[in-house]
Structure 1
């Protein structure tokens, strides 16, 4: 079919190839053959949970290597963050915004084979200049307690409350770190760092201490017997705008609503017996003052149905009438005055 072999398609292609090859100068750049498989690097996955096991978002993480270079990140809403593109070996993990007593290691486990590798490239950075932590004084605002400010400053609540410079306040407030008075002064100690060695290819789960807090509100009948097994719907508002899912449950055998809540919660609405015969109860969290203030008596008596009117910290006629009514119920001498026997009875029923 091709009488002249020099005119065949194969010959034509060979001639073109030789011509192209001959035209390349010595040392010209050439393209390497593509790799069938890109080199994969290691992964370290970190999960941060609260004391209830639920993931916590927005927790700052730092991974460092031997040359002091670092990687940083923050956990997603489910509490998880993955450091990718790592070489095999050990690294140091820290939670730089938390005091050393505010978190602890729970578990370390190998990642599944299909999750332990990544084609990502890690962007290591120089560590910033280290800030020297110093203690601070926090002035309590209405609605705050040690639990709330501990979350803000990155501490376990008891670390702040047990700090030596808070001993006088602790005594003044009868060791009630959740019932403080506006303008109380709380000393925040200097934050202490902590790091954990973690190997590439694993998931490390750590727990944030002191989060969540727990809400305990008791509902009583008129005769002060507990309202047991009453269905309720609970919704929360926080000072950070965090979305918190509504909770539906029942009061326990002592009439308590028991629910985990974020420390930033400022308001709770509890609907008993949701439906046509529902009762709506709203509470501002952290707004009950210590019992050694008149306003502390007024808040507790109002919650128990003894109407003091405005919680104005004044021992006026309406507050005295409410105290006498309470004393009558408890078979105490009806003086209308604040005294130790009445205070003890009030705290026993109010539970705070």
Structure 2
């Protein structure tokens, strides 16, 4: 049984145990309760327990002097980000550059300002430059907001921060700064600005953030 650490997702766990695809682990019958608790394999919480099945090794017979080519599947995780400018308009058709952790990739955003890239599953951080904007990406650090011991506060703050609000540092309780940031989000999306994380607000936050 693998106990999840901060920053891990199914793809990185699969890579650690030699699996090419995290779905093999996630869909295992002994992870049925995990799937109920975490409908997305990309959002795990530190302390979650994941059953990892025994790896079935393949045997390859090679004759002396024979040249053999073997293709292996390298586990990856997909990055998908929508980039907006200062006026909340998509930064469309802009050049982007991803660097870090031994990786370099380039491309252009689509008409919705979207950056899409496949990176090794073990990648933990990256720097993304889009036009004049530079972002430091910490992969796997976003927490779920449901069925977690901190009442979803870390996931709430993470999403607000990613959307450009300023919820303040991590604290075990709801702070005044987090309430101000949440109220601003509520006003911006046609909700009553209560500063309270009621279900309607959480649903809208997940919708706008994308997860």
TM-score category (smaller protein): 0.7 to 0.9
Query: Which structure is higher in helix share?
Result: 2
Gaps of 5+ in 1: 1-136, 238-242
Per-residue CA shift, 1:90-140, capped at 9, x if unaligned? xxxxxxxxxxxxxxxxxxxxxxxxxxxxxxxxxxxxxxxxxxxxxxx1111
> Do 1:299 and 1:311's aligned partners in 2 also have CA atoms closer than 8 Å?
no
Equivalent of 1:189 in 42, 45, 53? 53
Cα deviation code 1:10-29 (max 9, x no counterpart): xxxxxxxxxxxxxxxxxxxx
Change in Cα spacing, 1:153 to 1:350, as seen in structure 2 (3 Å) is: same
SS in structure 2 of the partner of residue 232 of structure 1: strand
- Offset at residue 304 of structure 1 (A): 0.6
Q: How much does 1:338 deviate?
A: 1.2
Indicate if the aligned counterparts of 2:14 and 2:75 stay in contact, CA closer than 8 A. no
The alpha-carbon deviation at position 201 of structure 1 amounts to 6.1
**Residue 267, structure 1, aligned to residue 125, structure 2:** yes
1:160 correspondence with 2:25: yes
Aligned counterparts of 1:349 and 1:145: Cα–Cα separation in 2:
22
Number of matched residues? 204
CA deviations over 1:149-206 (Å, ceiling 9, x no partner): 1001012200111112221122112x11111111111111122234467889675453
Secondary structure of the residue aligned to 1:271 is strand
Aligned to 2:180: 321
Secondary structure at the aligned position of 2:40 is classed as coil
Structure 1 segment 30-179 matched on structure 2, within 5 A: 137-155=1-19, 156-173=21-38, 175-179=39-43
Q: Does 1:247 align with 2:112?
A: no
Query: In structure 1, how many angstroms separate the alpha carbons of the residues matched to 2:209 and 2:88?
Result: 11
Tell me which residue corresponds to 1:235. 99
Q: 1:283 to 1:302 in 2, by over 3 A?
A: same
Give the corresponding residue for 1:215.
79
Specify the structure having the higher radius of gyration (Cα): 1
For residues 313 and 201 of structure 1, the distance between their equivalents in structure 2, rounded to whole angstroms, comes to 61
Tell me by how many angstroms 1:207 deviates: 4.2
What does residue 149 of structure 2 align with? none
2:115 aligned partner: 257
For 2:154 and 2:163, how far apart are their aligned partners in 1? 14
Residue 170 of structure 2 is aligned to residue 339 of structure 1? no
- 1:247 Cα deviation after fit: 1.8
Is the 2:11–2:76 Cα contact (8 Å) retained in structure 1?
Answer: no
- C-alpha contact 1:298 1:313 (8 A) present in aligned 2: no
The answer (yes or no) to whether the contact 2:78–2:118 under 8 Å persists in 1 is yes
Equivalent residue number for residue 350 of structure 1? 209
TM-score normalised over the length of structure 1 = 0.54
Q: Does 1:297 align with 2:156?
A: yes
Q: Residues of 1 paired with 2:97 and 2:33: CA distance?
A: 40
Taking the aligned partners of 2:201 and 2:2, their CA distance within structure 1 comes to: 33
The root-mean-square deviation of aligned C-alpha atoms, in Å, is: 2.1
1:198 and 1:204 in contact (8 A); partners too? no
In the alignment, the residues of structure 2 paired with residue 223 and residue 346 of structure 1 have an alpha-carbon distance, to the nearest angstrom, of 19
What's the TM-score once normalised by structure 2's chain length? 0.87
Q: Is the 8 A contact 1:139 1:186 kept in 2?
A: yes
Greater strand content: 1
